[in-house]
């Protein structure tokens, strides 16, 4: 989700409770919010923005299952067909000995798969340039942004001022 080349009007708030009431106000006036940027997660913001639950964990399950299968089938093939050897008098297909590695590859596949998926979906990663609105949104400012092609700019600015934004600006990312 890249916001490149979009013209926005945005307000910066000093407090998350102000931001929450501003979002409620915008919803009441049916102003379409482009996005909200905050330095930390805010309880109760997701339902107000109508965000659906992330489906990343479904990907995590699929990647994890792939890891399980890779490890278990891989070891089965190696130790029964490819290079069968006897270790400690155990059978070739020594399932208990496979479990720790199966577990580890499950975790590894799930973790790496989810990180890569997350980066691709959000357009992040090395060499990617992402515009930001204001550096202070990673510190102590809470930003509410509208796209001026989606809302009436004057109306949006009025709302931001009414709800107590410390700064109201417009720019093209």
Partner 1 sequence: MNKVDTMNEYTFTGKSRLVLMIGMGLGLLCLALSFFMDGFDHHPRFWSNLLHNSVFFTGIAFMAVFFISVCITAWAGWYTVFKRVWEAFSQFIIVGLVLMLIIGIGIYADWHHLYHWSDTSLLDPSNTASYDEVLDGKSAFLNPFWYVVIGGLIVAAWVFFAYKLRSLSLDEDVNGGDAEFKHHRKMRFWAAAFLPIAGFSSAAIIWLWVMSVDPHWYSTLFAWYTATSWFVSMLALTILVLVYLKGKGYFANVSAEHFHDLGKFMFAFSIFWTYLWFSQYMLIWYANVGEETIYFKHRIDNYPVMFYGNLIINFLVPFFILMRNDTKRKFGTLVFVSIILIFGHWWDFFLMLKPGILHTAQSTVEGAHHAGFVAGFSLPGLIEIGTMIGFLSLFLFVALTVLSKNTLLAKNDPFLEESLHHHV
- d(CA 28, CA 16) in angstroms, rounded, equals 18
d(CA 21, CA 17): 6
Site for partner 1 in 2-31 (CB under 8 A): none
Under rule CB under 8 A, how many of the chain's residues touch partner 1? 12
Q: Which of 29, 32, 55, 57 binds partner 1 (CB under 8 A)?
A: 57
How would DSSP label each residue in 6-40? -EEEEEEES-HHHHHHHHHHHHHTTPPP-EEE-SS
Residue of the chain from 5, 52, 53, 81 that contacts partner 1 (CB under 8 A): 53
Q: Please report, in angstroms and rounded to a whole number, the separation of the first and last CA atoms in the chain.
A: 13
Q: Does 97 bind partner 1 (CB under 8 A)?
A: yes
For the CB of residue 140, give the shortest distance to partner 1 in the complex, in Å.
Answer: 23
Task: Report the nearest approach of partner 1 to the CB of residue 96 (Å).
Answer: 5
What is the nearest approach in angstroms of partner 1 to the Cβ of residue 146? 28
- In whole angstroms, give the CA distance from residue 76 to residue 70: 10
Q: Which of 61, 93, 119, 132 binds partner 1 (CB under 8 A)?
A: 61
Comparing CB distances to partner 1, the nearer of 32 and 57 is 57
Q: Least distance in Å: CB of 68 to partner 1?
A: 12
Torsional class of 89: left (φ above 0), alpha (ψ -120 to 50), beta (otherwise): left
The C-alpha atoms of residue 105 and residue 71 are separated, in whole angstroms, by: 6
Chain residues in the site for partner 1 (CB under 8 A): 43-44, 53, 57, 61, 88-90, 96-97, 99-100
């Amino acid at each position: 989700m890249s916001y490149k080349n979009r013209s926005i009007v945005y307000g910066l708030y000093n407090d998350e409770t102000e931001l929450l009431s501003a979002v409620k106000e915008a919803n009441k006036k049916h102003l379409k919010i482009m996005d909200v940027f905050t330095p930390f997660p805010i309880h109760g913001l997701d339902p107000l923005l109508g965000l659906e639950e992330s489906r990343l964990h479904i990907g995590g399950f699929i990647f994890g299952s792939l890891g399980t299968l890779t490890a278990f089938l891989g070891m089965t093939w190696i130790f029964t067909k490819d290079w069968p050897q006897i270790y400690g008098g155990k059978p070739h297909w020594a399932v208990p000995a496979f479990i720790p590695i199966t577990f580890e590859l499950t975790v590894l596949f799930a973790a790496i798969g989810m990180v890569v998926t997350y980066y691709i979906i959000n357009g992040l990663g090395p060499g990617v340039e992402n515009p930001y609105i204001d550096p202070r949104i990673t510190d102590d400012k809470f930003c509410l942004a509208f796209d001026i092609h989606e809302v009436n700019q004057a109306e949006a600015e009025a709302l931001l001022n009414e709800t107590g934004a410390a700064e109201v600006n417009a720019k093209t990312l």
